[in-house]
Amino acid sequence: MIRTTLAQFAEMRQALQAPNVVRNEKVWTLLVATLFDSAPDQLNVVERLCGERLHANGRLDIWFESQPIPPRKGHAGDSEGNTKLDLAFGHVAPRGATAAGIIYGPPQPGSWVCFVEAKCLSDCSPIVSYDPLRNQLARVIENLLCFQNKGQFPERLFFTLLTPRLFKQNRNTRLYGHKMREYADPEKLLADINQCRIPCRADSGYAYPNLRERVGALRLNWIAYEDLLEPEFGNDLDIVFAPEKVKRLRERIGSAIERTNLPQSYQVRPPI
């Protein structure tokens, strides 16, 4: 099931009517979510997104525009708000009564979580509010390394960059291409994260982890939208120069939105 908010689905309904729908990053990402949700064997999609075969008991939910608890918290006006994750799945549970909030759960042996950062034509932001040295990829990955449930953490972590094939083949044209190359070295990733001037969160029940230990559980992966879409929409796709080849884009997403019963989507499913 695709889990998101009424506001997000309303935004997507409006986006599907726009003339430039094929330039909307969220639309392409929601299309990937619909393919994930409807796949007869979801673990095939998981393998492509995460880079390896993983285990799940039963069907997986996929979270669209979800928000984990931010690992950095300073003073009002000089802090870091919730990060909106393009997609998240794995051992992920709703956070309280929030519609978009997520936590790790249920804690159990063999658990894993994947956060997906999607980019269509845009690059990753080179700065984050209140910290000019903090880039968007480092922020999302820190959220993943710190993803928890009252001090309990998933055993395995996957960060996936999802972009058009054009930019994966021409990596030096985007900041995220340089950062993905750098972050293959955990020391460079940790150096970027540790530059953040906003204090680590220290709320009751929240345990900021030893990142040097957590980074050992992390795997980075980069996959193209076209790699996920071609089995459904045919070969030789190019969502930058020929997005119209993805036929039935509006129809496919629209029907998925209408099929989703949002109140039920917030109910907790049995553990995966």
51-83 pLDDT, tens digit each? 999 999 889 999 999 999 999 988 776 778 889
User: Exposed, middle or buried by CB within 10 Å (0-12, 13-18, 19+), for 268?
Assistant: exposed
Total domains in the fold of the chain: 1
For residue 118, give the amino acid letter. A
Q: Give the tens place of pLDDT for each residue, 204-232.
A: 789 999 999 999 999 999 999 999 999 99
Residue 27 in this model has a pLDDT that exceeds 50: yes
The H-assigned helical ranges of 120-240 are 136-146, 165-169, 175-182, 186-194, 211-214, 225-233
Q: Which amino acid is at 86?
A: D
Tell me how far apart the terminal alpha carbons of the chain are, to the nearest angstrom. 13
Whether 146 maps to a domain, the answer reads: yes
Q: Determine, yes or no, domain membership for 272.
A: no
At residue 203, the pLDDT reads 86
- By residue count, the chain amounts to 272
**Cα distance between residue 43 and residue 67, in whole Å:** 24
Rounded alpha-carbon distances, angstroms, from residue 196 to 58, 109, 129, 192, 241: 39, 32, 11, 7, 37
With tokens 């984050």, the residue in question is: 128
What six digits make up the tokens of 254? 């629209």
- The whole-number pLDDT of residue 34 equals 93
Q: Would you say residue 270 lies in a domain?
A: no
Q: CA triplet 102, 105, 111: central angle to 5 degrees?
A: 125
Please tell me the distance from the alpha carbon of residue 95 to that of residue 186, in angstroms, as a whole number.
29
Residue type, 90: G
pLDDT value of residue 260: 64
Which residue range(s) make up the domain with 228? 2-265
Residues 6 or more apart whose CB falls under 8 angstroms from that of 219 comprise 50, 51, 52, 156, 157, 158, 159
Tokens in use for 207? 């345990």
pLDDT of residue 263: 44
Q: Considering the entire predicted model, what is its pTM?
A: 0.92
Looking at this protein, which amino acid is placed at residue 35? L
pLDDT in the model for residue 265: 41
Bridge pairing between strands 62-68 and 2-3: parallel
- The answer on pLDDT for 268 being more than 50 is no
